Amino acid sequence: MIAHAIFFYIFSIIAVISAIMVTVSKNTVHSVFFLILDFISISCLFIMIGAEFLGMIMLIVYVGAVAVLFLFVVMMLNVAQQKNRWFISEDNSGHIPFGLIISTVIFFELIIVIGGWKYKPDLLNPSNLNVLNKISNTHSLGQVLYTEYIHIFQISGMILLISMIGAIVLTFRQREGVKKQSYLKQISRERSDGVTTVNVEIKKGVKIDD
Amino acid sequence: MDYLSTIFQEVYKILFLLIPVLVSVAMIVWLDRRVWAFVQKRQGPNVVGPFGLLQSLADALKYIFKEIIIPASSNKVIFILAPIITMTLALISWAVIPFGVDQVLANINVGILYIFAVSSLGVYGIIMGGWASNSKYPFLGAIRSAAQMVSYEVSIGIIIINVLLCVGSLNLNDIVIAQKNMWFIIPLFPMFVIFFISALAETNRPPFDLPEAEAELVAGYQTEYSGMMYAMFWLGEYANILLMCALGSILFLGGWLSPIDLYPFNILPGALWLVLKILLLFFLFALVKAIVPRYRYDQLMRLGWKIFLPFSLIYVVLTASYLFYFNLLPIN
């Protein structure tokens, strides 16, 4: 048990410190790296409570895909200067009230959740989730996800699909005057379409239409 | 005292796995160059040691004694961290590879997800290296490589789902044991082909070596690296290739199972069969490097997103409906 506790504290300390560093560090790219460290230590905590499937999915989805996109955006858009401006100049502090409102809301939500956990544990009782020790938690998750919560699962999938289609529609545009390659055209080209033999008359030349 | 002896035992096991992996990475570099040379009717490295076997060792010695140059305008911490992360991530995946029924360092329930997660983290070594170098070519190489790895991971994930449908477990040992009667390469042959090509793209091997396309990008994300740091990138890359070969042989070629379940074959240790299968796949990797020209970037993306992804998704539906119709779904 002692080893368990030691590892728990190591991971949670890393998680908390890196979460603080995400907001504190000056360089935006460093913030993203600290965010990744945070994700990794959180997934280690998931694995420690026995939810190994969730921990791995956390790594694959958040660290392997979402954070890479974050990193792309941060590297490409030069957010660093903007972040500095927000922090340093006084006239641009319109973000601070918003931040305060959001953080108070989150704070009260946390108080409600943790208070409920402490004083009314039966509110959070997962009555229809009987976790058996015989089957692995991937199996038990699948059994609940595809029977009890199938509609919610499907709806969340649809939401993701719609947002994906929306993103494609927003960014897709066809420009005029841009040569596009058509693989079908290229492959189905025969010698007779491309090569012609012309008898060139002297001092007249040929006119090639392109 | 009890803790200490456990720790010593684990360290001993880890070293017993790690040292052979590192040595075989060095040997595999030699094999790669040798196969490449033979395809092109050259000799390849044949001077240092018998058949040139010690060439990689000589190279490593050279790299160790070279000076490490850290560019003045680079982000130093991340610049140094990048090769270390690449190397570490390439090695820690080996913890779950089974070499026999109980010859596995960590027999975890979600072994395949673990490998997938660690290989998806591999992008960071490259992005960090490219970004921290603070120079044009490494940055372009890193961006390319990240986009490439992220898009081919998707199709690898779906191919893994195909195999998992037939197995019903995420444990790598269970995957191997499920192939006792028939290797998955027979029912899932198209998936094996796509897995092989995606593995080439995932490990930045030719014909998908755009991140380090020397004609366009000097050496991609490794341009500013020198000495031991370059060697670490290089070792990490080859360790990743070996890992992909191991994953391919576990998923499709029956892992440590012998090809024929008959007397002279099935008393040989499983590790030997796994190594032979890894070598076979690596030989194919090396051949592909020698005989195929490099893809263009838009072709690469088209292949990943418009051909492999839909095809493997359709194959998931086919496999699932076949198993469902003939009542073959593994339920335990």
Tens digit of each residue's pLDDT (9 = 90 or more) over B267-307: 778 788 888 899 999 999 989 988 888 888 888 888 888 88
* pLDDT of amino acid B321: 92
Tell me if A64 and B120 make a contact (CB, 8 A cut-off).
Answer: yes
Q: Which residue has the tokens 């610049």?
A: B79
Q: Would you say B191 and B312 are in contact if contact means Cβ atoms under 8 Å apart?
A: yes
Give residue A157's pLDDT band: very low, low, confident or very high (50, 70, 90): very high
CA distances from residue B156 to A20, B76, B245, B308 in whole angstroms, order as listed: 35, 34, 13, 9
Neighbours of A188 (CB within 10 A): 9
Tokens representing residue A179 in the block: 């040569």
Q: Is B218 left (phi over 0), alpha (psi -120 to 50) or beta?
A: left
Say yes or no to pLDDT of A78 above 70.
no
Q: Which residue has the tokens 């993701």?
A: A160
Question: How much is the average pLDDT of B45-64?
Answer: 85
Closest by Cβ to A60, choosing from B113, B170, B332:
B113
Q: Would you say B63 and B70 are in contact if contact means Cβ atoms under 8 Å apart?
A: no
Between CA B10 and CA B104 the distance in angstroms is 12
Which residues, 6+ apart, have CB-to-CB distance to B328 below 8 Å?
A: B322
* pLDDT of amino acid A92: 58
Closest by Cβ to A56, choosing from B75, B117, B139:
B117
In this structure, which CATH number among 3.30.2290.10, 1.20.120.1200, 1.10.760.10, 3.30.390.10 belongs to the domain A1-92?
Answer: 1.20.120.1200
Closest by Cβ to B109, choosing from A33, A52, A57:
A52
Say yes or no to pLDDT of B266 above 60.
yes
Q: Which of B89, B170, B313 to mutate to test binding with chain A, by most A CBs within 10 Å of its CB?
A: B170
Q: Would you say A45 and A8 are in contact if contact means Cβ atoms under 8 Å apart?
A: yes
pLDDT > 70 in chain B, percent: 98
Between CA A83 and CA A81 the distance in angstroms is 5
Say yes or no to pLDDT of B315 above 80.
yes
Say yes or no to pLDDT of A159 above 90.
yes
What distance in Å separates residue B260's CA from the closest CA in chain A? 32
Angle between helices B227-251 and B55-65 in degrees, nearest 10: 140
Chain B hits for A181, Cβ within 8 Å: 298
Chain A hits for B146, Cβ within 8 Å: 68, 71-72
Between CA A68 and CA B115 the distance in angstroms is 18
What distance in Å separates residue B267's CA from the closest CA in chain A? 32
Say yes or no to pLDDT of A199 above 70.
yes
CA angle B75–B241–B199, rounded 5-degree value: 100
Q: Which of B4, B113, B148 to mutate to test binding with chain A, by most A CBs within 10 Å of its CB?
A: B113
Using one digit for the tens of pLDDT, what is the confidence trace for B70-125? 888 888 888 888 899 989 998 898 888 888 888 888 888 888 989 988 888 888 88
Domain residue spans of chain A: 1-92
Between CA B141 and CA B128 the distance in angstroms is 11
Say yes or no to pLDDT of A126 above 70.
no
Tokens representing residue B63 in the block: 């790299």
Chain A hits for B108, Cβ within 8 Å: 52
Which residues, 6+ apart, have CB-to-CB distance to B53 below 8 Å?
A: B27, B30
pLDDT > 90 in chain B, percent: 12
Which residues, 6+ apart, have CB-to-CB distance to B217 below 8 Å?
A: B137, B140, B141, B144, B211, B223
Q: Which of B88, B109, B175, B202 to mutate to test binding with chain A, by most A CBs within 10 Å of its CB?
A: B109
Lowest mean pLDDT of A78-92, B16-30, B180-194, name the range.
Answer: A78-92
Tokens representing residue B226 in the block: 């020198």
Tokens representing residue B308 in the block: 């492999």
Is residue B310 reached through a cis peptide bond, with omega within 30 degrees of 0 on the bond before it? no
**Closest B-chain CA to A2:** B3
Say yes or no to pLDDT of A151 above 70.
yes
Work out the mean pLDDT of chain A and round it to a whole number.
Answer: 81
Distance of CA B33 to the CA centre of its chain: 17
**Closest A-chain CA to B113:** A56
Chain A hits for B3, Cβ within 8 Å: 3
CA distances from residue A140 to A57, A61, B171, B185 in whole angstroms, order as listed: 15, 20, 15, 29
Tell me if A56 and B113 make a contact (CB, 8 A cut-off).
Answer: yes
Say yes or no to pLDDT of A87 above 70.
no
Say yes or no to pLDDT of B139 above 70.
yes
Say yes or no to pLDDT of A210 above 60.
no
Between CA A206 and CA A202 the distance in angstroms is 10
Using one digit for the tens of pLDDT, what is the confidence trace for B146-200? 888 888 888 899 999 999 888 888 888 888 888 888 888 888 899 999 999 999 9
Tell me if B150 and A75 make a contact (CB, 8 A cut-off).
Answer: no
Domain residue spans of chain B: 66-325
Tell me if A63 and B110 make a contact (CB, 8 A cut-off).
Answer: no
Q: Would you say A31 and A23 are in contact if contact means Cβ atoms under 8 Å apart?
A: yes
Say yes or no to pLDDT of A203 above 90.
no
